Amino acid sequence: MMGRYEFLINRPAQRIREITGKTLAPLKISPKQYGVLATLDSEGPLSQRDIGEMLKIDRTTMVTLIDGLEGMSLLVRDDHPKDRRYYLLHLTPAGKKLYKEAHILILKAEEEFLRPLSKNERQTLRESLSKLFSHIPRLEGGH
């Protein structure tokens, strides 16, 4: 059991999700909300649909996440310049500030989680996981 890939991948993933949730709790945001903030910070204004596709979050959950973040004044919805059916989501100054605070906390938590690994082992892990991640669409029938 301990040597099976499923166990070796799932247990650390489960633990890092728990750590992320506890790390973000003082800021009153969830890991999924952090993901939305991080995506908007790195990619700039996007539609709710685009963010959902990037993060693999269903439409119903995205509505709840966006409503919550908007209610906390962390993002705003603006009319999409090319398609009136959609809104572009933008981080507010408060959203940018909270994201930066959260990002620092997440980096510290990741550092603690990865402490048993050397710099080279971390790089190898990142490369291996990235390779597996990029292979997922093919497994799902994509290209």
pLDDT digits (tens, 9 = 90+) for 6-31: 888 999 999 999 999 999 999 999 99
Average pLDDT over residues 83-98: 92
**Interatomic CA distance for residues 15 and 117, integer angstroms:** 16
What number of residues does the chain have? Answer: 143
Where in the chain are the domains?
5-139
pLDDT above 70 (res 98): yes
- Extract the tokens encoding 90: 């933008």
pLDDT above 70 (res 143): no
> Residue 1's pLDDT is what?
64
Question: What top-level class would CATH report for the domain 5-139?
Answer: mainly alpha
| Banded pLDDT at 142 (limits 50, 70, 90) | low
Q: Which residues pair with 77 in a beta bridge?
A: 89
pTM of the complete model = 0.86
